[in-house]
Amino acid sequence: MTRQFAALSDPDSLVAVVGATDSPGKYGGIIYRDLKSRGHRVVAVNPNRSTVDGDPAYPNLSSLPERPDIVNVVVGPQDGLGIVAEWARLEGTSIWFQPGSHDGHVLDAARGAGMDVIDGNCIMVVDRLLATSA
């Protein structure tokens, strides 16, 4: 089991959703609210919002009050290299790219920084699979 899957199974783990939003049709909002409703500790990262779903939103990973166990990326690949670079500076180890949030350069940068990377798997789907296998 990867580190991210184990962290997702731990109720004390913190998931930072980069791209969290209140926009009802955007995946950043759907994922944030879904994880929160399923009992996960989540924190919103979005430089354009002060709150998401009534919770404080932070402009970047560096400004978070607590280090997340998983960074879940729900923004386009054009922002991915910056997110990876910031997470690497913070010595982050686990990064989860939602489908469509990365390209080869972003994945190479994350792996090159020694991060545990998940790509191609939706965190909401994996969360449900883990819950049924527990």
Question: What is the residue range of 69's domain?
Answer: 3-133
Distance (Å, whole) CA 16 – CA 94: 11
Q: How far is CA 132 from CA 9, 61, 126, in A?
A: 11, 31, 10
Q: What is the CATH classification number for the domain harbouring 39? A: 3.40.50.720
Average pLDDT over residues 5-18: 88
pTM equals: 0.94
Task: Name the band, by pLDDT with cuts 50, 70 and 90, for residue 56.
Answer: very high
Number of structural domains found in the chain? 1
Which pLDDT band holds residue 57 (cuts at 50, 70, 90)? Answer: very high
